[in-house]
Amino acid sequence: MPKILDGSEVWCQGYSEPNAGSDLASLQCRAEDDGKGNFVVNGQKTWTTYAQYADWMFCLVRTDPQAKKQAGISFLLIDMKTPGVLVKPMLTTGGTPAFCETFLENVVVAGDTLVGPLNGGWTIAKSLLGHERTLIGAVGTSRRALRRVKEIAKATRFGDATLLEHPGIRSKIARLEIKLRAHQMTNYRAIASAQLGHAPGPESSILKIRGSEILQQCFELAMEVMGHDSLAWQNDLGVIPAAEQNIAPSFNYTRATTIYGGSNEIQKNIIAKLVLRLPST
């Protein structure tokens, strides 16, 4: 943990697999006891964000294939330098190599890297996802993005005035900022509740849903305000102003926000079941 705090070590999250996306609990990556106090891990993880730079991975593995799917999962810490770990980065639509496929072939992991009880990993994973969803709420990121929208609108001529004074554009920006302010207040409520020692509950799904949508809308609005400038990709030749730099890649990459951390549809399933207690099929 001290190395996480001082930034000397970076971690990646080994949750999703090619056949375990929204249905995360169906994950197949196996960890077997080798009889010498180690686990031997075999399988494949995917969407392991920035695994190519990670020193460690916290990883969900199946330790009891006979048990009900949530009950046979354990939480292991894997050193990324261990033989048998292979990372293949993928380019995202935003042009960054953020996603990775991570292959694990006969990776030997010491038994003491098991976190929590054997077959007790699902509970830990769910609790972490609550925090992740709060983080994806991304109030600060959206504030910064919206500030850029205003800067761009203010620097763009429209008739005798600027785009910030265009009634339609101005109204769109104001509405999005109001939505963001409302979201910020929901976030404050969650923080205040955390300060009282409550773990993020299913309500953190609200932050995930709203925050991910708002961040996407910020970049959509930035692209709209940019007009023709939004056709540019990388700004190597200086064809667009510096303030517009990287908006197009972010406009693309932020399509992931409503997908990662449990897609927004999964968040809605969680709220429907755990908060509204609607009947199951």
Minimum Å gap between C-beta 89 and other proteins is 33
Q: Which of 38, 44, 46, 26 is nearest to 104 (CA)?
A: 44
Q: Which of 281, 280, 266 is nearest to 24 (CA)?
A: 266
- Residue 81 Cα distances to 16, 84, 85, 112, angstroms: 20, 9, 7, 17
> Which residues are designated catalytic?
132
Tokens of residue 271, six digits: 């709220």
Minimum Å gap between C-beta 278 and other proteins is 4
Minimum Å gap between C-beta 23 and other proteins is 14
Which residues lie near other proteins (CB under 8 A)? Answer: 142-144, 146-147, 149-150, 170-171, 173-175, 177-186, 188-189, 191-193, 195-196, 203, 206, 209-210, 265, 268-269, 271-272, 275-281
Residue type present at position 27:
L
Query: How do beta strands 11-14 and 30-33 pair?
Result: unpaired
Provide the b/e sequence for 244-264 (b: ≥16 CB within 10 Å).
bebbbbbbbbbebbbebbbbb
Q: Which residue, 36 or 277, has its beta carbon nearer to other proteins?
A: 277
**Helix, coil or strand: residue 79:** strand
Q: Which residue, 74 or 267, has its beta carbon nearer to other proteins?
A: 267
Q: Nearest 5°: CA angle at 242, between 238 and 244?
A: 105
DSSP letter at 274 equals: I
Minimum Å gap between C-beta 178 and other proteins is 5
Q: Which residue, 73 or 180, has its beta carbon nearer to other proteins?
A: 180
Q: Which residue, 47 or 219, has its beta carbon nearer to other proteins?
A: 219
